[in-house]
Amino acid sequence: MIHIFQKGTNLSAPVLLLLHGTGGTEHDLLPLGQLISPESSVLSVRGNVLENGMSRFFRRLAEGVFDEEDLVFRTGELSNFLDRAAAQYEFDRRNIVAVGYSNGANIAASLLFHYEDALRGAILHHPMVPRRGIELPPQRELPVFISAGHNDPICPAQETLDLEALLIGAGAHVHTHWEYHGHQLTRSEVDAAAAWFGKQFLHK
Ligand code: MLT
């Protein structure tokens, strides 16, 4: 997968896996990584699927209607890529925290829906339920931060509540941050994610 790896100054801090929104690139969320954990190594990945020239992490049939077969395939592809990247860049595979926005948050959530040890934690900005009707693997005490908009037209509030419930049902510790700025990724939600990350992983 096309990606950027930047080695951090604190090699015991979690590696941030940055996953952009529809139409983004591996460059988009680099400033977010800096705000969340400037000392962390960063692995920023570009989605492998193109929709009218826009990069995504999996195909969709319509707005909010996912191609499940492709979702499962692409989730496996990303998971395998993480195994290879950890070996290539010599970081601990078990020390990855995903930071995703929109379509990137959805593939990060999909990792948690399909694999038990995919991530050490996740920051999901405006995620949806990636897939319904499956049993999640155990995600015991996995720290998850969700940010959502009460008035998000792409991820309705109920979708956030459903995702929260499914992750909690699998054992995750979920913190949800609500705003009123639609589907926008705001500075205040990133600041909230950074504060949460500091407490969870850097003991700040
Ligand atoms: C998706 O397709 O993953 C969601 O609808 C969000 C987006 O527009 O990327």
Give 56-97 pLDDT, tens digit per residue. 999 999 988 999 999 999 999 999 999 999 999 999 999 999
Q: Is the pLDDT of residue 204 over 90?
A: no
- pLDDT value for 163: 98
Summarize pLDDT for 2-32 with one digit per residue, the tens.
999 999 999 999 999 999 999 999 999 999 9
Give the β-pairing of 65-66 and 60-62.
antiparallel
Q: Point out the residues that are catalytic.
A: 102, 152, 183
Within 8 A by CB and 6+ apart from 39, the residues are 8, 9, 10, 13
Per-residue pLDDT at 91: 98
Q: In the chain, where are the structural domains located?
A: 3-202
Gap between the Cα atoms of 103 and 80, Å rounded: 19
Phi, psi of 186 (to 5 degrees): -100, 160
CATH no. for 3-202: 3.40.50.1820
Please tell me the distance between residue 22's alpha carbon and the centre of ligand 1 in angstroms: 6
What average pLDDT does the structure give for the chain?
97
Tell me how far the alpha carbon of residue 181 lies from the centroid of ligand 1, in angstroms. 17
The pLDDT tens digits of the residues spanning 89-135 come to 999 999 999 999 999 999 999 999 999 999 999 999 999 999 999 99
Task: Give phi and psi for 91, each to the nearest 5.
Answer: -120, 165
pLDDT at 100: 98
Indicate if the alpha-carbon torsion angle 85, 98, 27, 199 is positive or negative.
negative
d(CA 10, CA 22) in angstroms, rounded, equals: 31
Q: Please tell me the distance from the alpha carbon of residue 65 to that of residue 55, in angstroms, as a whole number.
A: 17
pLDDT confidence band for 184 (50 / 70 / 90): very high
Measure 26 CA to ligand 1 centroid, in angstroms: 17
- The rounded distance, in Å, linking the Cα atoms of 14 and 110 is 20
Q: Which residue blocks in 54-201 are alpha helix, DSSP H? A: 68-89, 103-114, 157-169, 187-201
> Contact 154/131 with Cβ under 8 angstroms?
no
Contact residues for 59 (Cβ-Cβ < 8 A; gap 6+): 49, 51, 66, 67, 70, 71, 74
Answer whether residue 203 shows pLDDT above 90.
no
Whether the predicted model's global pTM rises above the 0.95 cut: yes
Residue 173 neighbours by CB under 8 Å, 6+ apart: 141, 142, 143, 144
Beta-sheet pairing, 49-51 with 54-56: antiparallel
Residues with CB under 6 A from ligand 1: 21-22, 60, 63-64, 102-103, 106, 128, 154
